[in-house]
Structure 1
Amino acid sequence: MRGRAKTSVALGIGDVVSITIYEAQRGGLFTSTEGNAAPGNAVELPRQQVDLAGNITVPYAGAIKAAGRSPQDVQLEIKSKLSGRAIDPQVLVSVADRISNSISVLGEVNTPARIPIEPGGIQLLPALARAGGTKAPAFESIISIQRDGKIDSALLVAVNERPDNNIQLRPGDVVTVTRRPRYFLAFGATGQTTTLGPLDRRFPFDSYRMSLGDALAKAGGLQDDRAQAAAVFLYRFESRQALERMGVDVSLHPGPLVPTVYRADLEDPSGYFLISDFIMRDRDMIYVSNAPSVDFLKFITLIRSVPQTVSDYRVAAEARF
């Protein structure tokens, strides 16, 4: 999302305008001729919408083109057309209801609304505030703007942190807020086996920026009796450009995203500083390998179970016959 130039808000088809005409003396076209009429009387015409042709109608001035023009331009034309008939006329045109020059805020907000754009314009964050704010946390709220047949999206927290993303909205923009929880997966020798089961391996983010160290801690840490601290892996799809900047050969992967595996060695004390600075992304997967001794014990357990299985089979067979 980019752009900070303010939008000039002009009248459009469907807008409701209010017109007030002032005359310097009584006895003119619009002021009363009664003896108690005060100098400088004014008359307010009935409110009217800009029609499909883009016009409004003013007595003694006829049809006035309004669509695409500012209220100031319209009132100057009305004054010019009344100058030969009214007594020193002064005209005030104001917008009672902006129909064409409005934006819509929908989705996961507390008060979905159609918001008129005032002459000073309105930016994205004030528009969200007018809609009551988002229901979800900023790091889970996706802000999408539909404009001219295109859609541009960003996390709300990214809009908060970068002022140039707080763009000026334009008439007809549709702002949609969608909640998308961010999570990571953790497998292998993490957590406590007595409390973490297969259904507990998906962990939601609780902040915008979560490091690999934060993620391991949230997953329960490394199991002291099983984990191989030197073999902590993170799987993600990395951008081709990022890997090329790292000097990685990506010639075998022509696409824009390359499946990538990062490895952290926590047997090296410096590895803890590394994982504290390594930022997690949505849908990252962590795998902590088992220590070689654990795999050896699994093998021994399997070997020991074979004679017992044969013995159980023999007992069952003798009992049957």
Structure 2
Amino acid sequence: MVRSSIVLICLALAGCQGLPSQGPHADTINKDAGRSAAEVGRRNAAVFDIVDVDSRSATLVSNYVTTALNRRFGIGGGVGRVVIGVGDHLKVTIFEAGSDGLFSTTESKQTNLDIVVQPDGMAAIPYAGSVQFEGKTLEEARKAILASLANKAVEPDVIVTSVSTASRNVTVSGEVGKPSQVPLSLVSEQITEVLAKAGGSQAQPYEAYVTLVRGKKTGTALLKSIIENPSEDIYVQPGDRIFVSKDPRTFTILGTANLNARINFGANDLNLLEAVALGRGGNDLATDAKGYFLFRYEEPDVVMSLLGSQRFHELLNKGLAPDSVGRYPIVYRFDMSHPDSLIVGQTFPVKNRDVIYISRHPAVDLRMFLGIVGQPVGIAAQSAGVYNNIND
């Protein structure tokens, strides 16, 4: 009777798809890496690849995290050639040598004109007609007015000064003291200077994200990174849009960690080892030391550098797809059975919304299987003993 019960239990377990678990084995993650949905055998499965984290890859990722804006936009140089634009308010002062000229009287030899550059880039000057201002420097505009007044005014001279520069505004919004359109001056201005004009960030630098939109390009960086890395404090250009958002940074830790949770950074920086420690480490009785993984949507430049151009395009052909902001799924693998992982892990930065997964050791499934089998076998044996006693 006991033998029959054991056979029935084993057959039942053999027909099951698998044992209860908290997630995939390391072998399953490794096997699915770099495979298309068809190869995985699951429709619409996400395509990803695995990168083993060593000193080179950790340094590459760390360097990119601190230079995101500079890589996308470049820090640039000075303001270069500052020109007049549509909507700019100018003051034009015209002088004449004579007292009976077009712009002079016996009381005054000058006339002041307030003009605003129109959408066609022109503005009207009395007796000179429409003058092109857009795209010209103040000096070039002065010369253009003088040329238009030649043979009309008496030995004219002109001064053009800028009152306001609507064409050189930068829009600053979000978590700042004074959301507004900030006019750029004639000298070079960087992100932190423009933010200061808008009242500064209302969030702590380690939880304030600065997004800069320029044309069709968008870049986001932590304000803390901009402050600490001068190359990230790039020069702002007219028409740029800056948005500051407060987003307390968090990561999620799953698997055989002693604490499965979404956890706040609670600090300016966080590396992999610190993040694992916040999750109270891996369970000694269940963790696979070779199965520490960090799941992330990574910047395309980083993915290209880590995988190489050929591998990257192979994955694109297999269905590798970006998220809504153009980042690609990548899985970083850490082998904690090697001592140097404790060094490399200190230099690998955890980013906002990262998912750390600690896989279970294969022996855990065996132990779980034996536990499941042992319980009904014991019950079956007990029942068999009772049955024999009754028959006796």
Q: How high is the TM-score relative to the length of structure 1? A: 0.70
Q: Which has the higher contact order (CA 8 A, sep 6+)?
A: 2
Q: Is the 8 A contact 1:21 1:91 kept in 2?
A: yes
Q: SS at 1:128's partner residue?
A: helix
Q: Is the 8 A contact 1:21 1:90 kept in 2?
A: yes
Task: Provide the rounded CA distance (Å) in 1 between the counterparts of 2:235 and 2:279.
Answer: 41
Q: Is residue 236 of structure 1 aligned with residue 295 of structure 2?
A: yes
Task: Provide the rounded CA distance (Å) in 2 between the counterparts of 1:240 and 1:253.
Answer: 15
Task: Provide the rounded CA distance (Å) in 1 between the counterparts of 2:272 and 2:200.
Answer: 31
Distance change >3 Å, CA 218–CA 29, structure 1 → 2: same
Higher share of residues assigned helix: 2
Q: Is residue 272 of structure 1 aligned with residue 342 of structure 2?
A: yes
Q: Is residue 202 of structure 1 aligned with residue 202 of structure 2?
A: no
Measured after TM superposition, the shift of residue 10 of structure 1 is 1.9
Q: Is residue 154 of structure 1 aligned with residue 224 of structure 2?
A: no
Measured after TM superposition, the shift of residue 214 of structure 1 is 0.8
Tell me the residue number matched to 2:165. Answer: 98
Task: Provide the rounded CA distance (Å) in 2 between the counterparts of 1:286 and 1:32.
Answer: 84
Letter in structure 2 aligned against 1:155: A
Q: Is the 8 A contact 1:21 1:42 kept in 2?
A: yes
Measured after TM superposition, the shift of residue 212 of structure 1 is 1.5
Q: Is the 8 A contact 1:102 1:115 kept in 2?
A: yes
Task: Provide the rounded CA distance (Å) in 1 between the counterparts of 2:123 and 2:336.
Answer: 75
Q: Is residue 44 of structure 1 aligned with residue 104 of structure 2?
A: no
Letter in structure 2 aligned against 1:275: G
Residue deviations 1:255-311 (CA, integer Å, cap 9, x gap): 375754624336x65543343233334413131647968984996598469868999
Measured after TM superposition, the shift of residue 207 of structure 1 is 4.6
Q: Is residue 111 of structure 1 aligned with residue 178 of structure 2?
A: yes
Distance change >3 Å, CA 303–CA 171, structure 1 → 2: same
Aligned with residue 285 of structure 1, among 334, 356, 371: 356
Task: Provide the rounded CA distance (Å) in 2 between the counterparts of 1:309 and 1:43.
Answer: 110
Distance change >3 Å, CA 280–CA 146, structure 1 → 2: closer
Count of residue correspondences: 292
Residue deviations 1:76-114 (CA, integer Å, cap 9, x gap): 232344454545433211122222332212233332211
Residue deviations 1:218-240 (CA, integer Å, cap 9, x gap): 2233456x464845512425736
Letter in structure 2 aligned against 1:236: F
Residue deviations 1:199-222 (CA, integer Å, cap 9, x gap): xx1113345642221112222334
Provide the aligned C-alpha RMSD in A.
4.1
Measured after TM superposition, the shift of residue 153 of structure 1 is 1.0
Letter in structure 2 aligned against 1:55: M
Letter in structure 2 aligned against 1:154: T
Measured after TM superposition, the shift of residue 11 of structure 1 is 1.8
Q: Is residue 22 of structure 1 aligned with residue 101 of structure 2?
A: no
Tell me the residue number matched to 2:7. Answer: none
Letter in structure 1 aligned against 2:83: A
Measured after TM superposition, the shift of residue 124 of structure 1 is 3.0
Tell me the residue number matched to 2:127. Answer: 60
Q: Is the 8 A contact 2:168 2:239 kept in 1?
A: yes
Q: Is the 8 A contact 1:182 1:204 kept in 2?
A: yes
Distance change >3 Å, CA 305–CA 211, structure 1 → 2: farther
Distance change >3 Å, CA 119–CA 240, structure 1 → 2: closer
Measured after TM superposition, the shift of residue 72 of structure 1 is 1.5
Task: Provide the rounded CA distance (Å) in 1 between the counterparts of 2:133 and 2:345.
Answer: 62
Task: Provide the rounded CA distance (Å) in 1 between the counterparts of 2:188 and 2:305.
Answer: 38
Tell me the residue number matched to 1:221. Answer: 281
Q: SS at 2:166's partner residue?
A: coil
Q: How high is the TM-score relative to the length of structure 2? A: 0.59
Letter in structure 2 aligned against 1:100: S
Task: Structure 1 unaligned segments of length 5 or more: list them.
Answer: 312-321
Q: SS at 1:134's partner residue?
A: coil
Task: Provide the rounded CA distance (Å) in 1 between the counterparts of 2:293 and 2:211.
Answer: 30
Letter in structure 2 aligned against 1:134: S
Tell me the residue number matched to 1:171. Answer: 238
Q: Is the 8 A contact 1:222 1:288 kept in 2?
A: no
Measured after TM superposition, the shift of residue 68 of structure 1 is 2.0
Q: SS at 1:100's partner residue?
A: helix
Task: Provide the rounded CA distance (Å) in 2 between the counterparts of 1:187 and 1:56.
Answer: 65
